[in-house]
């Protein structure tokens, strides 16, 4: 168990509503990531963080924002959810570049 907790694990929300997913780690790892998993696409990077208040965009960042005010927490926000954001979202952590990346158990989000 890599010490990663994602919440909520399952959520159904309506189009146009804001949604925040939380990733909490107990490992004190520097790097944190948000990926989404969709059939036929594998996992795609949404945003990542390389330290407190240090974040950057991944390949599919449109419609998402993130914040990292503490080492242990990395929040992913959908400002106005759309059906195309229905997906499984995975948080991941790493001690540093070149180190193993550990994944959380995922958050299933359905936008209706």
Task: Give me the least distance between CB of 6 and another protein, in Å please.
Answer: 9
Quick one: 80 or 84, whose CB is closer to another protein? 84
At which residue do the structure tokens 């990531």 appear? Answer: 33
Task: Give me the least distance between CB of 90 and another protein, in Å please.
Answer: 6
Tokens found for residue 87: 């997906």
Give residues with Cβ within 8 angstroms of 103, minimum separation 6.
2, 4, 35, 90, 91, 92
Q: For binding to another protein (CB under 8 A), which residues are involved?
A: 4, 31, 33, 40-45, 48, 50, 56, 58, 90, 92, 94, 96-106
């Amino acid at each position: 168990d890599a010490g990663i907790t994602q919440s909520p694990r399952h959520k159904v929300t309506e189009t146009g509503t804001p949604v925040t997913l939380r990733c909490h780690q107990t490992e004190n790892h520097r790097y944190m990531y948000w990926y989404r998993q969709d059939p036929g696409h594998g996992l795609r990077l949404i945003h990542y963080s390389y330290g407190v208040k240090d974040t950057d965009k991944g390949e599919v960042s449109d419609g998402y924002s993130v914040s990292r005010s503490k080492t242990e927490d990395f929040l992913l926000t959908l400002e106005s959810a759309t059906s195309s954001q229905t997906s499984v979202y995975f948080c991941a952590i790493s001690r540093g570049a070149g180190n193993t990346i550990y994944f959380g158990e995922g958050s299933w989000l359905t936008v209706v």
